[in-house]
Structure 1
Amino acid sequence: MKTLLKIIGIILLLVIVYAVFAMLAFSKDYHYEKSVVINAPKEKVWQHMGSLKAYNTWDPFSKEIKNITITYSGEGDKMGDSYHWKGDDSEGEQSITEIVPNEKMLTKLHFIKPFEGDAKSSLILTPDGNGTKVTWMIDNELNTMMKIMKPMMDNNMDKMFGQGLGDLKKLAENK
């Protein structure tokens, strides 16, 4: 029994040490990005990502939300256009802050539920040989509790961005 209590005590101490380390060492500025090269010209790739409506056909985050309802404001392909989503455990909005056809779309995300917060997202197209490199980025500010969860966030972002870019690649390369 004493051995079990020692093990539990050591685990608890390690969790506390990690939490303090994360709060002090991790930056409040969070940046994540992932890229994929798509074997298609940027004009063809843009057809699948140059509007919020096209984006939502491959966006892995909206696919995860149960009972999602999406309401668009505008056509989704001009500065200021936006959409609002609401699902069982998630609500928020995304609006275009800058758009350059066949090059980039920058958006602002406002999360309402489950946590209030803001982030900026970018989709950038650059030529890569005969194909197009798509780079997807997100930037936001982490509160103290989110700093503790940063490694889990990185892991989730890697999975979700990989899935989304993979789906975009399939759509754009489909002849």
Structure 2
Amino acid sequence: MKTFFKIVLAVLAILLIAMFVIGKPYHYEKSIVINAPLEKVYAQASSMKAFNQWNPWMNLDPNLKVTYTGNSGQAGDRYCWVGNDEVGEGCHEITALVPNQKVATKMLFKKPFESDATSDLLFSTEGNATKVTWNMDCELDYPMNLMKLFMDGQMDKSYGDGLQKLKEISEK
């Protein structure tokens, strides 16, 4: 029994140390090259309704409830969602637009836990194609920051699926 408690204490100590070593900031980004003109690709991301045509999280709940507010394609363009446990609840808003270069957004998550993040879509030309880089930045409070150990894999799948769908839509 003493050995069991020593193991439990050792694991807890390692997690506690890891929590502080890992830190709170989290950054993720993924890029794709799309064989379509810059203006066409940018148009697929410069409004929340267009973004949601390839947003990978929109397909996780067939009964997802989405409401749009603000002026489409302008700062303040926003959608809020309420969904199942997989998608939770929150809002996503365009905070700034630099035509054919950048769409900056802020996400406010309400469920399954409260947090916020910023995300940018960056556009540049590569020959006759368009490079899109999608990034996200947030801070995860202790002990939630331990999730960072597993987030890259999930983010890679989600962002990869979304960017692939953006590519398919844009190359039509």
Deviations 1:23-69 (A, max 9, x none): 12112111100000111111111121111101001111222235211
Residue type matched to 2:141 in 1? N
Contact 2:47 2:77 in 1 (8 A): no
Pairwise CA distance, 1:14: 6.8
TM-score (norm 2): 0.89
Q: Which residue of structure 1 aligns with residue 169 of structure 2?
A: 171
Structure 1 segment 75-114 matched on structure 2, within 5 A: 75-89=71-85, 90-114=88-112
* CA–CA separation in structure 2 for the residues paired with 1:131 and 1:14: 53
SS at match of 1:144: coil
* CA–CA separation in structure 1 for the residues paired with 2:164 and 2:28: 17
CA RMSD, aligned part only? 2.1
* CA–CA separation in structure 2 for the residues paired with 1:46 and 1:11: 53
Contact 2:24 2:141 in 1 (8 A): yes
Pairwise CA distance, 1:21: 3.3
Q: Please, which moves more after superposition, 141-150 or 18-27?
A: 18-27
SS at match of 1:133: strand
TM-score (norm 1): 0.88
* CA–CA separation in structure 1 for the residues paired with 2:152 and 2:5: 28
Q: Does 1:148 align with 2:169?
A: no
SS at match of 2:143: helix
- After superposition, the Cα gap between the structure-2 partners of 1:14 and 1:44, relative to the gap in structure 1 and judged at 3 Å, is farther
Residue type matched to 2:43 in 1? Q
Q: Does 1:43 align with 2:34?
A: no
Q: Which residue of structure 2 aligns with residue 132 of structure 1?
A: 130
Q: Does 1:117 align with 2:101?
A: no
Q: Please, which moves more after superposition, 30-39 or 12-21?
A: 12-21
Pairwise CA distance, 1:77: 0.8
Number of residue pairs the alignment of both structures matches: 170
Q: Which residue of structure 2 aligns with residue 22 of structure 1?
A: 18
* CA–CA separation in structure 2 for the residues paired with 1:130 and 1:9: 63
Q: Which residue of structure 2 aligns with residue 56 of structure 1?
A: 52
Contact 2:30 2:135 in 1 (8 A): yes
Give the percent of matched residue pairs that are identical in Structure 1 and Structure 2.
47
Q: Please, which moves more after superposition, 113-122 or 71-80?
A: 71-80
Residue type matched to 1:132 in 2? T
Unmatched runs of 5 consecutive residues or more in structure 1: none
* CA–CA separation in structure 2 for the residues paired with 1:104 and 1:55: 13
SS at match of 1:20: helix
- After superposition, the Cα gap between the structure-2 partners of 1:21 and 1:155, relative to the gap in structure 1 and judged at 3 Å, is farther
